[in-house]
Amino acid sequence: MKIDHKDSFEDFGKQFLIDNQLEGYWGSKDLLTSLVHPFDLNQIKGKEVMEVGVGAGRISKNLITFDPSKLIGIEPSEAYDVAKKNINSPYVKILNIKGEDINFISEFDYVFSIGVIHHIPKYKDVLKKINQSLKSDGKFIIWVYGREGNEIYLFIFNNLRRITALLPDFILRIISKLLALTTYVYGFLCQYINLPLKKYFLNFFNKFSFKHKCYVIFDQLNPSFAKYFTKQELKDVLNECGFEIDCLEHKYEYSYTAICRKKT
């Protein structure tokens, strides 16, 4: 079945109208710093920055604390208004447009897209627009799901998502809460047993509140589109879209962070 790009961002827009509280580790500067490592966020001070896929605003809310001269956020969904309230900064402007409609030319020093590109069916179009928006010496920092390390998880959740993506949200939220309860046992066992996603649980998931664990599980079960990149796939698509990779890190064996620049 062909999935429309609109379906993907509408899923998250409806979700973030409810799941919009950014306190705790979930919305922290520590989490952002970990996701973009080894990039040093202090480099964006005084620079022009764009974030693609603002959602409820948890990334931009922290980016602005590093004092960029300007921060433009891109958010096509209903979460646009939620993000404006959560960020609440005169230095941030959020545009209610899709990623493939970005029309900036050589304007930004840094562009971030954290946990977004893997939910956009037309991700290549968006990546090309991001490349176009960067200055000649600009950099792009991207974090996406990785396939390596997630094989067992994908076998289970890809099949489960065929059903859960069709369920009403209120039922899916009940399921998310029940699954979140089971993760406390799994997260505890990860401290002593080498289980799948052990590093993810110990470094991230175990630090989330129950509410934010429910957010994450709902986020996994609800979207119409979710792509898990192999290392080679990510290299190839970034190269195809005009980027040179300065650094590509397998993040805690479940995702990838890449720091890129425009090809010269």
Above 70 in pLDDT, residue 12?
A: no
Q: Name the band, by pLDDT with cuts 50, 70 and 90, for residue 244.
A: very high
Same structural domain, 58 and 111: yes
Same structural domain, 134 and 40: yes
Same structural domain, 20 and 110: yes
Same structural domain, 130 and 253: yes
Same structural domain, 163 and 242: no
Running DSSP on this structure, what letter comes out for residue 146?
Answer: B
**For the chain, how long is the longest CA-to-CA vector?**
51
C-alpha 58/C-alpha 76 separation (Å) is 16
243-251 sheet: strands from edge to edge: 92-95, 70-74, 48-52, 108-114, 134-145, 255-262, 243-251
Residues 6 or more apart in contact with residue 45 via CB below 8 angstroms: 66, 67, 68
Among 19, 4, 34, CA closest to 177:
19
Q: Name the band, by pLDDT with cuts 50, 70 and 90, for residue 5.
A: very low
Same structural domain, 29 and 135: yes
DSSP H helical ranges for 3-122: 5-18, 29-36, 58-63, 79-87
Same structural domain, 242 and 184: no
Number of structural domains found in the chain:
2
C-alpha 204/C-alpha 139 separation (Å) is 26
Same structural domain, 210 and 241: no
Same structural domain, 110 and 239: yes
Tokens of 233: 């796939």
Above 60 in pLDDT, residue 6?
A: no
Among 171, 75, 158, CA closest to 114:
75
pLDDT for the residue numbered 4 = 43
C-alpha 24/C-alpha 109 separation (Å) is 29
Running DSSP on this structure, what letter comes out for residue 66?
Answer: G
Which of the two residues, 160 and 75, has the higher pLDDT score?
Answer: 75
Same structural domain, 23 and 109: yes
Which of the two residues, 150 and 1, has the higher pLDDT score?
Answer: 150
Per mean pLDDT, which range of 17-26, 71-80, 170-179 is the poorest? 17-26
Among 106, 101, 41, CA closest to 74:
101
Above 50 in pLDDT, residue 98?
A: yes
Q: Name the band, by pLDDT with cuts 50, 70 and 90, for residue 14.
A: low
Local structure of 214: helix, strand or coil = helix
Residue 123 belongs to domain with CATH number: 3.40.50.150
User: Could you tell me what percent of the chain has a pLDDT over 90?
Assistant: 71
Same structural domain, 60 and 163: no
User: Could you tell me what percent of the chain has a pLDDT over 70?
Assistant: 94
Q: Which domain holds residue 170?
A: 151-221
Same structural domain, 36 and 79: yes
Residue 184: enclosing H or E segment and its boundaries?
helix 169-189
- Beta carbons of 115 and 144 less than 8 angstroms apart: yes
What average pLDDT does the structure give for the chain? 91
